[in-house]
Structure 1
């Protein structure tokens, strides 16, 4: 089990990123908060030794993505419908990116993950391939196709690197 200072430091450093990851997967503030707590609880209870800060960040991203996917596949989630469907305020990386962020949310999951990690978190294709456990060339293909889908959604021809 990790020290209180270590857990508090991780929460301060990665809280916004984990919230954004959870929100773009779950599209629901309440579920985002639940998964957010689970991610940092898992971090607290883990005895994993990290090589450096980037390794820790990649581990937290992977745990967040997997927790969201597990939640979406859960029996409870598949068999219930929310009572109130509201347009909740998202945690956007920057105010000017709201339209792009919302367009990314509408992408199929396989494109959404790589587009988000590349453009919003600044990871290279090689780093994304390590985080998601996919081949680097697959990541390049997903980025290219995802950009094409975003270009169609946003009505622009200039979206890209």
Structure 2
């Protein structure tokens, strides 16, 4: 899709509709806070509006939006406001299916580096090499983080059931 076939505002509206859920989910996975994730989403849309160059293809478009989202999340983490203020009560996850909400809440309990690779791998469908490129890490690092994240999730899901059987 090119800007030339439609106005810039229409083009931005199409991109926002196309990637809104992905941006919010990625920011939520990175930050663990729905309010912060919504703020990051708004920041990404503003940067998208200010972006003047056309994207090469949909892969470039999606990668650019993911990269901008990750950078905006890093800005939130580095913000002195985040260190000074903590939310009184975290908002409930806007997920209707109870089992899905439980899995997402377990993923959000993981350390940030694990949440991010889990999200990009399982929810966005990226391969480990693509995740490594997006995050600026080595592919082996991403594979290790993915393996450790799976192990931590397995521990959280089984909740010590294996230990009880050995007694």
TM-score class normalised by the smaller sequence: 0.7 to 0.9
Alpha-carbon deviation of 1:23? Answer: 2.1
Cα RMSD (Å) of the superposition? 2.2
Unaligned runs of 5+ in 2: 160-167
Question: What residue number does 2:114 align with?
Answer: 111
Summarize the alignment of residues 21-100 of structure 1 with structure 2, pairs less than 5 Å apart. Answer: 21-82=26-87, 84-86=88-90, 88-92=91-95, 96-100=99-103
**Residue aligned with 2:27, SS:** helix
Alpha-carbon deviation of 1:92? Answer: 4.4
Cα distance in 2 for residues equivalent to 1:45 and 1:60 = 13
Cα distance in 1 for residues equivalent to 2:43 and 2:83 = 20
TM value normalised by structure 1:
0.85
Indicate conservation of the 8 Å contact 2:118/2:146, yes or no: yes
Cα distance in 1 for residues equivalent to 2:96 and 2:73 = 19
Indicate conservation of the 8 Å contact 2:128/2:142, yes or no: yes
TM value normalised by structure 2:
0.82
Q: Which has the higher helix share?
A: 2
Point out the structure with max Rg over C-alpha. Answer: 2
Cα distance in 2 for residues equivalent to 1:133 and 1:94 = 34
